[in-house]
Amino acid sequence: MKWIAIVDDDITNLNIAGQILSKNKMRVSAMKSGTALLRFMQENRPDLILLDIAMPVLDGFETLKRLREQEEALGLQKTPVIFLTADQDTATESRGFEMGVSDFIRKPFVPEILLRRIGNAVEQQAQINRFEADATVDKLTGFLNKAASEAKFAALCNEKRGALMMIDLDSFKPVNDLYGHETGDKVLAAFAECIRAGLPGGVFGRIGGDEFLVFAQGMTRERDAANFTAALNSSLLRRAKELMGEDMEIPLGASVGIVMTPEYGTDYSALFNMADKALYHVKQNGRHGYAVFGDYPDAEAQITGIRSLSVLLDERHIPDCAMQLERENFLSVYRFVMRFLRRYHHTACKILFTVSAEGARADAAAEEFGEHLKNTLRKSDLMMRAGRNQYFVLLSEVQEENADTAAERAVSAWNLAHPAYPAAYETEFVQ
């Protein structure tokens, strides 16, 4: 149903136009002055305005000028306007079109012409809105696309108080690899819905495949950021299991980097970099959490003492899983640990796990097996990916029989859930 606002100081014209539109199943809101229209438009968005030119106090031209200023201040799209006039002067029409009116309708009204011109104006605006949406909106999520995000967020950071948030979807790649890109798109769309639901009134952009930008106007407290992040991770996990099944083991989650504005300035580029640094801090400290820029030690700051250094080096968000390192880092740690074990006669066990994975999903299955190991083994255990489908694990301070039990438990659980990609292991005990 089209919604039409009519503004005319003549009650007879209001009644006639209202009757014509109502009989044609249109919703009508009638006003007698430009001032009344401006108040009305602060909280209402009709599809079209029929605006009389010759009105006292505020004529149609002045009313339209103030309406456009009001829409710009509120960040709203322009509502199409058709001028109502009994004037035949072409100068009046020229001035109206220069100001952006959609059309003119002469009084007294001819019903067929009134309806036709209203229909044309509404359809024209709908087409403009579609073109604008195609140019600015990401189709998968409904968020602003990368190109449109920069201008919108730059204006918000410059004018509003709140939080600029960079949000990254952790461990998303295995979703596409294991379940396919169609499911991956569904997960991204569901993640966007979770973000939107957690921040009513926010402004949202998608700036990469699984990277999002949000401006939360009025968010000024860390507690609000913490609550949002916790709720986002909870709702994401629930939606992911709805899409991929309760046995889904991919450690999906959200990492959120936040900077408050105007506390740290109003320049979008600078604030974007701060939010990015905060996000990096989350990624380096366990993921699935948040960091507010300025609320954690700056890695480039001068260390004031051993206590400060200890605080900086301590692991703040200790994940409940084994520690996986890249090969170069693992070698350094492994060699040091082995020297320590031999020097002080401690025990350890080396385990090489192998996944029988072939075909297009081999890499994805091996990666998921690595996540399975991380979540099955202890926090004190070290692991690295030794080959395309192999993982090497070092269990410290463990008895030989307990090492075999831990390895068997990890393999049995995996093979039960993934019979198409069975895993095996071999061990070597160190004492």
Q: Which tens digit of pLDDT belongs to each residue from 206-220?
A: 988 899 999 999 898
Instruction: List pLDDT tens digits, range 342-368.
Output: 888 888 999 999 998 776 677 788 888
User: Largest Cα–Cα distance of the chain, in whole Å?
Assistant: 104
Task: Among 91, 111, 135, identify where a domain stops.
Answer: 135
Q: What is the pLDDT of residue 310?
A: 60
DSSP 322: P
Can you tell me the mean pLDDT for 394-417?
88
- Do 160 and 295 lie in one domain? The reply is yes
- 190 lies in which domain range? 146-313
Residue 45 vs residue 431, higher pLDDT: 45
Task: Among 104, 135, 166, identify where a domain stops.
Answer: 135
pLDDT at residue 298 above 90? Answer: no
Q: Which residues of 310-348 are buried (b: 16+ CB within 10 A; e: fewer)?
A: eeeeeeeeeeebbbbeeeeebeeebeebeeebeeeeebb
Q: What is the pLDDT of residue 299?
A: 46
Can you tell me the mean pLDDT for 114-129?
82
CATH at 131: 3.40.50.2300
Q: What is the total count of domains within the chain?
A: 3
- Do 196 and 129 lie in one domain? The reply is no
- Do 327 and 309 lie in one domain? The reply is no
- Do 188 and 117 lie in one domain? The reply is no
Element (H, E) at 424: strand 423-430
pLDDT at residue 308 above 60? Answer: no
SS (H, E, C) 167-219: EEEECCHHHHHHHCHHHHHHHHHHHHHHHHHHCCCCEEEECCCCEEEEEEECC
In a domain, 180, yes or no: yes
- Do 120 and 180 lie in one domain? The reply is no
Residue with tokens 């889904």: 248
- Do 159 and 131 lie in one domain? The reply is no
- Do 238 and 359 lie in one domain? The reply is no
In a domain, 318, yes or no: no
pLDDT at residue 317 above 60? Answer: no
pLDDT category of residue 82 using cuts at 50, 70 and 90: very high
Can you tell me the mean pLDDT for 297-317?
53
Q: What is the pLDDT of residue 171?
A: 87
Distances (CA, A) of 235 to 54, 193, 195, 215: 55, 10, 9, 20
pTM reported for the whole predicted model: 0.49
CATH at 408: 3.30.70.270
pLDDT at residue 161 above 80? Answer: yes
Task: Among 102, 135, 168, identify where a domain stops.
Answer: 135
CA distance 68 to 63: 9
Residue 389's closest CA among 426, 360, 423? 423
CA distance 13 to 86: 11
**Dihedral angle sign, alpha carbons of residues 331, 336, 342, 346:** negative
DSSP 137: B
CA distance 309 to 307: 5
- Count how many residues are written for the chain: 431
Contact 361, 179 (CB under 8 A): no
Terminal CA-to-CA distance of the chain, rounded, Å? 80
Can you tell me the mean pLDDT for 390-411?
88
